[in-house]
Amino acid sequence: MKKNNLNIHNLITYGIVVAAFLFVSILVWTGNASRHLQAMLVPIGLNIILAVSLNLIVGFLGELTLGHAGFMSVGAYAGCLFAIKYAEILPTAVRFPLAMIIGGLVACVFGIIIGVPVLRLKGDYLAIVTLAFGEIIRSIIINLEFTGGASGLKGTPQNSNFYIVFVVIMITLVVITNLVNSRAGRAICSIRDNRIAAESLGINITYYKLLAFVIAAFFAGVAGVIYGHNLSILQASVFDYNRSIEILVIVVLGGMGSIRGSVIAAVIITALPEMLRSLADYRMLIYAVVLIAMMLLNGSQKFDKYKGRMNIGGLFTLLKNKKSAKEAG
């Protein structure tokens, strides 16, 4: 059992992220990274955290939610309000992690509040209710005084950087991949695969659903806090349903239930519109076309077979087979 917890598949995922991180770090240190690339790193990292956490609900629990931006905004405002209040009192090294934990926990609380009544719903109904939740949160934030209303919350110290985001990404990956491979994770997957069978085995459906929901909400909240610390202004309007759908697109494109896919798709979806800047007026058009092409390609069986051959994991299996073949021979 223990061996499974850290299987090769997950190690490769970690490896890809670490390698990409080192590669970019070297670019930055040697002065070869453009400012544009450096500015994009935090948004890319945020989308990785958001996509991986949403994948837990959409991919592993098998429920469609459209409220991820709502959790992100709750966390962002909680963490940033805390950071503004203690900006002068606490040193950054204490305040920022604390703000992230507070943001995450507040998002958790909202996850429980929303989750308990809502998780009795399934499929489309859940999607609609979570969509409404996200919009309600946004409206409330806009109408409150202490959140800065429509003009936005200003004055959050700008502490986010690439390295902090990297650490949070790694924590997110380790927590979620291990959760998925644990007893709880198998229970969550069993709910997706056959709810009635899972229930008949004595799995507490509500409990495990809520667990997945709350953990995903926590990381969305943390991502929100990092977002808030990255810009000098936090506007509720960015957390609209388009944001939730953007995260969902990343998860679907990367492959539901594939953590590594979410990571890679997050990089592509975030970087693509920025890379197309040189196309000026045709930028959004090309972006849309590329998205459609990628979705079609992802759904095609031929491409899937081709991918299977080119798989890094497949390479390992190949090596292993050769080795065992040699031993046998």
Partner 1 sequence: MKKITGILSLVMVLTIIATGFSACGGNGDADKNTLVIGGIGPLTGDYSTYGVSVKQGAQIAVDEINAAGGVNAIKFELKFEDDETDATKAVNAYNTLMDDGMKVSLGAVTSGACIAVTEEAKKDGILLLTPSGSQKECTQYDNCFRICFTDPQQGTVSADYIADNLTAKKIAIIYDKSNDYSVGITDKFVAEAAVKGLEIVAKQAFTSGTSTDFSAQLQQVKDTGAELVFLPIYAKEAAFILKQAKTAGIAVPFFGCDGLDGILEKLGTDNQALANGVMLLTPFAADADDTKTKNFVKVYGEKYNGQVPDQFAADGYDAIYTIKAAIEKAGINDINAADFNTKIIDAMTQVTVEGLTGTMVWDESGDASKDAKAVKITDGTYVAI
Question: DSSP letters of 69-82?
Answer: HHHHHHHHHHHHHH
Looking at 49-57, 63-71, 149-157, 319-327, which segment touches partner 1 (CB under 8 A)?
A: 149-157
* Phi, psi dihedral angles at 233 (to 5 degrees): -140, 140
Site for partner 1 contains 265 (CB under 8 A) = yes
Looking at residue 56, the DSSP 8-state letter turns out to be I
Interface with partner 1 (CB under 8 A), residue from 171, 245, 313, 316 = 313
Site for partner 1 contains 132 (CB under 8 A) = no
Unique residue bearing structure tokens 């940033």: 80
Site for partner 1 contains 36 (CB under 8 A) = yes
Q: Do the beta carbons of residue 76 and residue 227 sit within 8 Å?
A: yes
Which residue in 171, 42, 163 sits closest to 101, CA to CA?
171
Cβ closest to partner 1, residue 206 vs residue 304 = 304
Q: Which residues ranging from 266 to 305 are in contact with partner 1 (CB under 8 A)? A: 267-268, 271-272, 274-275, 277-278, 281, 283-284, 298, 304
Site for partner 1 contains 260 (CB under 8 A) = yes
Interface with partner 1 (CB under 8 A), residue from 1, 93, 196, 310 = 310
Question: DSSP letters of 89-125?
Answer: TS-HHHHHHHHHHHHHHHHHHHHHHHHHHHTTS-HHH
Residue 93 class from Cβ within 10 Å (0-12 exposed, 13-18 middle, 19+ buried)?
A: exposed
Q: Binding residues for partner 1, how many (CB under 8 A)?
A: 65
- Measured CA to CA, the distance from residue 136 to residue 288 in angstroms comes to 29
- Measured CA to CA, the distance from residue 142 to residue 227 in angstroms comes to 18
Site for partner 1 contains 231 (CB under 8 A) = yes
Which residue in 266, 272, 297 sits closest to 284, CA to CA?
272
Q: How far is the CB of 112 from partner 1 (least distance, A)?
A: 26
Looking at 31-39, 70-78, 111-119, 171-179, which segment touches partner 1 (CB under 8 A)?
A: 31-39
Interface with partner 1 (CB under 8 A), residue from 135, 137, 165, 214 = 135
How many beta carbons lie within 10 A of that of residue 281, not counting itself?
6
Q: Which residues ranging from 43 to 72 are in contact with partner 1 (CB under 8 A)? A: 43
Site for partner 1 contains 238 (CB under 8 A) = yes
Cβ closest to partner 1, residue 122 vs residue 154 = 154
Interface with partner 1 (CB under 8 A), residue from 88, 117, 151, 326 = 151
Site string for partner 1, 158-197 (x = CB under 8 A): x---------------------------------------
- Measured CA to CA, the distance from residue 249 to residue 56 in angstroms comes to 14
Site for partner 1 contains 4 (CB under 8 A) = no
Q: Do the beta carbons of residue 56 and residue 191 sit within 8 Å?
A: no
Q: How far is the CB of 272 from partner 1 (least distance, A)?
A: 8
Cβ closest to partner 1, residue 171 vs residue 240 = 240
Distance of CA 304 to the CA centre of its chain: 24
231: Cβ–Cβ under 8 A, 6 or more apart, which residues? Answer: 156, 158
Looking at 28-36, 75-83, 103-111, 126-134, which segment touches partner 1 (CB under 8 A)?
A: 28-36
Angle formed at CA 97 by CA 250 and CA 30, multiple of 5 degrees: 70
**231 by DSSP, 3-state: which?**
coil
Which residues here bind partner 1, judged by CB under 8 A? 9, 16, 20, 23-24, 27, 32-40, 43, 135, 139, 142-143, 149-152, 154, 158, 227, 230-233, 235-238, 240, 254-255, 257-258, 260-261, 264-265, 267-268, 271-272, 274-275, 277-278, 281, 283-284, 298, 304, 306-308, 310-313, 315
